[in-house]
Amino acid sequence: ENNVAYCSSSATTQLKPITPLSYDWSALKTAVNAMETTGGTNQAVGLAWGWQTLLQNSPVPAPAETGITTYNRVIILLSDGLNTEDRWPDYGNGSTQTTSGSGQFPGLIDARQKLMCDNLKNAKDSKGNTMYMIYTIQVNTSSPADPTSTILQYCASSPDKFYMLTSSTQIVTTFRSIGTALSQLRVAM
């Protein structure tokens, strides 16, 4: 059970500030290496912040766009497991939640994530084109392995944009594959 105090004056420093989009690879590597685990998975939070980094008027604004270039707004959502409770352990996990004495009901984390994925997939630009492309990656190194995440499969823009990895060593190859696909998309436009 995770007892990290997120919203108190004695809050942990485990949660780091969001790093804006950048080409400063050294700063990005430093930010990633400074991250600490807290014991839970809440993909919906990561998805929401990923979306925010692609918006012009958000807390972490995207770089300014010009009218000359066509932009690809891509979210790559990587997770090491299924959605689980994190901050509020009394309410269960992402697929099943329990309240005191009232039994179980469908997981709200997955439902919230599904709603965000629907909104992202249905967002259109002024020309009617889909605004966002979503890649999802499940890194499943547990023994026994977690089941395949149906919410990650659902959120991917198409079945070929969902990746199931069984080793952390596959991450670099997967990102390289996504980068190659995005480069080809740029050339084709």
Tell me: the pLDDT tens digits for 82-105? 887 655 455 544 444 444 434 333
The answer to whether position 137 is within a domain reads yes
The answer to whether position 162 is within a domain reads yes
CA-to-CA separations, 15 to 8, 23, 123, 134, 144, in angstroms, rounded: 13, 22, 30, 24, 28
Lowest mean per-residue pLDDT among 59-63, 86-90, 173-177, 181-185:
86-90
Within 10 A of 183 (CB to CB), how many other CB atoms are there? 10
- Give the helix ranges, DSSP H, for the chain: 25-33, 43-52, 108-122, 150-155, 170-188
Domain ranges, residue 147: 40-188
The domain that holds 51 is classified in CATH as: 3.40.50
Question: Domain count of the chain?
Answer: 1
What is d(CA 137, CA 175) in angstroms, rounded to the nearest whole number? 9
The answer to whether position 160 is within a domain reads yes
The answer to whether position 51 is within a domain reads yes
Q: What is the pLDDT of residue 15?
A: 67
Which of 76, 84, 47, 83 is CA-nearest to residue 162?
76
Query: What pTM, to 2 d.p., does this model score?
Result: 0.77
The answer to whether position 7 is within a domain reads no
The answer to whether position 27 is within a domain reads no
